[in-house]
Amino acid sequence: MVKRRSFIKTAGVIAAGTLLAPSHAFGNRKKKRVIILGAGLAGLTAAYRLQQLGYGVSIVESKGRLGGRVLTYRPDPEQPLTVEMGGEWIGSSHHHMRKLVEDVGLKLVDHTFQNHLLFKAEHFRPGNWDLSDKGKASLRSLVEKYNSLKPDQRILIDKTDWWRYLRNSGFESRDLDLQELMDSNEYGESIRQVSALMALGNHNNYGAKMEMDYRIEGGNQRLIDELAERIGWENIHLNQPVTRVRQNPGGVRVFTYNGTLFEADKVICALPVLAIRKIDWDPGFSDDKKEALNSLQYSRITKTAFLFKERFWRDDQFGLLSDVHAHYIYHATRGQSGTHGVLMSHSIGDNAQVLGGASEAYRIKILNQALDPLFGPVDKSLLKQSTLDWSRDPIVMGAVALYGPGQVTSVMPELKQDMHNVHFCGEHLGDWQGFMEGAVQSAYDVAEQIVI
Ligand SMILES: Cc1cc2nc3c(=O)[nH]c(=O)nc-3n(C[C@H](O)[C@H](O)[C@H](O)COP(=O)(O)OP(=O)(O)OC[C@H]3O[C@@H](n4cnc5c(N)ncnc54)[C@H](O)[C@@H]3O)c2cc1C
């Protein structure tokens, strides 16, 4: 990293003594260096892997904290409870993620739930609701075909949304509504907005619990901390929003809002698309890349952690899927000792917007609307509520990337394309897109690609 007062002057940015001295001169060093934009799970994993492969790394992060959309929260000043406000479940099929957790010496704990259903004002206990036999058989037969799809068939299926694809394949009334409730919980928006190819691919890989299997003991943020320790804090630069990336024949220069300049051989960009678009890229992106960056949407998820004095729901694995605003409510402190407990509401799409913008009193009404049929009014033992509406996050402006009809086979390949010495990774480019697994796998892939 190089101190450049002249740059600061031209950029009109006040340098507050933040710049570090260079450890090497540009173009005159042996160890190859890579700058990683973004200290989310993808950026940290890419840095960790590159270091193992003998590269020097610098991570440049805009916020004052690591982890991006992995965010473990301690809601209770009295009891040491942790809940996840961002990425939560690790699936049994999430092999890269599971291996990484193991490599850094952390443990996974069971995070499965027994889900009640509240549907059209009727309450069904766990085990007493499901798709019809016909619906289950239809889904199975659709999914079985996934692996043998030819490229032109994939393109055709991609053009359809998941709701219509199910409808065209014979899904009807209650089955279609239930599938919408279950799958939209995962995507963060109605399945009418999801590419059928994306959904089919996911269903093809799902385990029994739709990859809602585990969580890291003590909180997912521990993985972030462990990665940072291994990478070395001297290689991580917080509070440094990247504003400009300039490629030269000999390497890449990265400028931050604070007036710091980083130089390296290559850059890995591990940012969500809205963040990529805010940066001034020199040379600029092709028209196709610009269009791809402009067309990918992110879904809306609002999580609200309701901290209760007592765990009146009694079942440690309590979960409730519903067709009311709260959408999915579950015991987020499952498996953690203490008398207090947290019920998390995970609402999506328009409902996420309602929860995100609501007053505390209205959120309690929404909670009661879902829980009253099971427990009666629950607000008496409520100690506190904390909400995070990801659509209001100034960086991501959403929760996870949402590939709509036609986009898996067109937008995703375009976004994956590197640009000279700039390479891309992140949740939106993973095979398990929308999951931490996707962030980790895409980071491993891009690190290997650089080495070749
Ligand atoms: C509500 C919610 C629930 C989820 N649930 C699950 C789940 O149950 N299971 C699961 O596996 N996944 C889940 N996910 C998805 C998972 O959290 C993400 O896939 C993953 O954390 C994304 O990691 P990333 O590194 O690709 O992106 P991010 O975490 O978004 O990291 C990007 C980083 O780049 C930084 N940045 C942005 N702009 C700049 C800039 N200009 N300069 C420098 N730095 C910048 C950001 O501050 C951020 O730290 C959930 C996500 C949300 C929001």
DSSP string, 392-444: G-TTTSSSSEE--TT-TTTHHHHHH--BTTEEE-SGGGSTTTTSHHHHHHHHH
The closest alpha carbon to 265, from 421, 419, 417, belongs to 421
Report the residue among 412, 427, 433, 442 best suited for mutation to probe ligand 1: largest number of ligand atoms under 8 A from its CB.
427
Q: Is the pLDDT of residue 200 over 70?
A: yes
Which strands sit side by side in the sheet containing 261-264, from one edge to the other? Answer: 261-264, 251-256, 242-248, 280-282
Query: What is the number of other CB atoms lying within 10 angstroms of the CB of residue 44?
Result: 33
What is the number of H-type helices and E-type strands within the chain? 15, 22
pLDDT value, residue 4: 28
Over residues 246-264, the pLDDT tens digits come to: 999 889 999 999 999 999 9
Q: Is the pLDDT of residue 9 over 90?
A: no
Q: Is the pLDDT of residue 10 over 70?
A: no
* 401 Cβ closer than 6 Å to some ligand 1 atom: no
- Nearest residue by C-alpha to atom 34 in ligand 1: 38
CA–centroid distance, 68 to ligand 1, in Å, is: 5
Q: Is the pLDDT of residue 331 over 70?
A: yes
pLDDT value, residue 451: 83
Mean pLDDT for 337-365 is: 97
Mean pLDDT for 136-141 is: 94
Q: What is the mean pLDDT of the chain?
A: 92
pLDDT value, residue 210: 85
* 348 Cβ closer than 6 Å to some ligand 1 atom: no
* 299 Cβ closer than 6 Å to some ligand 1 atom: no
Query: Within its chain, how far is the Cα of 400 from the centroid?
Result: 5
Report the residue among 69, 184, 304 best suited for mutation to probe ligand 1: largest number of ligand atoms under 8 A from its CB.
69
Mean pLDDT for 224-237 is: 98
Q: Is the pLDDT of residue 391 over 50?
A: yes
Give the pTM: 0.93
Mean pLDDT for 196-200 is: 97
Report the residue among 256, 258, 271, 388 best suited for mutation to probe ligand 1: largest number of ligand atoms under 8 A from its CB.
271
Q: Is the pLDDT of residue 452 over 80?
A: no
pLDDT value, residue 7: 25
Instruction: Give residue 379's pLDDT band: very low, low, confident or very high (50, 70, 90).
Output: confident
Ligand 1 nearest-atom number relative to CA 398: 53
Over residues 11-50, the pLDDT tens digits come to: 222 222 233 333 333 444 467 999 999 999 999 999 999 9
pLDDT value, residue 364: 96
* 61 Cβ closer than 6 Å to some ligand 1 atom: yes
Where in the chain are the domains?
5-67+220-284+419-451, 72-113+212-219+300-392
100: burial class by Cβ within 10 Å (0-12, 13-18, 19+)?
buried
Over residues 413-437, the pLDDT tens digits come to: 999 999 999 999 999 999 999 999 9
The closest alpha carbon to 401, from 428, 439, 436, 437, belongs to 428
Query: What is the number of other CB atoms lying within 10 angstroms of the CB of residue 279?
Result: 17
Domain 5-67+220-284+419-451 top-level CATH class: alpha beta
Q: Is the pLDDT of residue 336 over 90?
A: yes
Q: Is the pLDDT of residue 209 over 90?
A: no
Instruction: Give residue 207's pLDDT band: very low, low, confident or very high (50, 70, 90).
Output: confident
Q: What is the length of the chain?
A: 452
Which one-letter DSSP state was computed for residue 26?
A: T
pLDDT value, residue 105: 98
Question: Helical H runs in 27-128?
Answer: 41-52, 95-103
- The bridge status of strand 56-60 relative to strand 33-37 is parallel
Over residues 81-98, the pLDDT tens digits come to: 999 999 999 999 999 999
* 211 Cβ closer than 6 Å to some ligand 1 atom: no
Q: For residue 294, what are its two tokens?
A: 């402009």
pLDDT value, residue 280: 98
pLDDT value, residue 23: 35
- Is the bond preceding residue 283 a cis peptide, omega within 30 degrees? yes
**Cα separation, 408 vs 209, whole angstroms:** 24
Which residues in 282-307 are b (16+ Cβ under 10 Å) and which e?
eeebeeebeebbebbebbbbbbbbbb
Question: What does residue 10 show for φ and ψ, rounded to 5 degrees?
Answer: -65, -35
* 46 Cβ closer than 6 Å to some ligand 1 atom: no
Query: What is the number of other CB atoms lying within 10 angstroms of the CB of residue 403?
Result: 26
Is 72-113+212-219+300-392 a domain of CATH 3.40.50.300? no
pLDDT value, residue 30: 66
* pLDDT top residue among 24 and 450: 450
- Nearest residue by C-alpha to atom 5 in ligand 1: 87
Kindly compute the dihedral angle of the four CA atoms of residues 228, 302, 339, 90, in this order, to the nearest 10 degrees: -50
The closest alpha carbon to 321, from 181, 130, 134, belongs to 181
Ligand 1 nearest-atom number relative to CA 241: 42
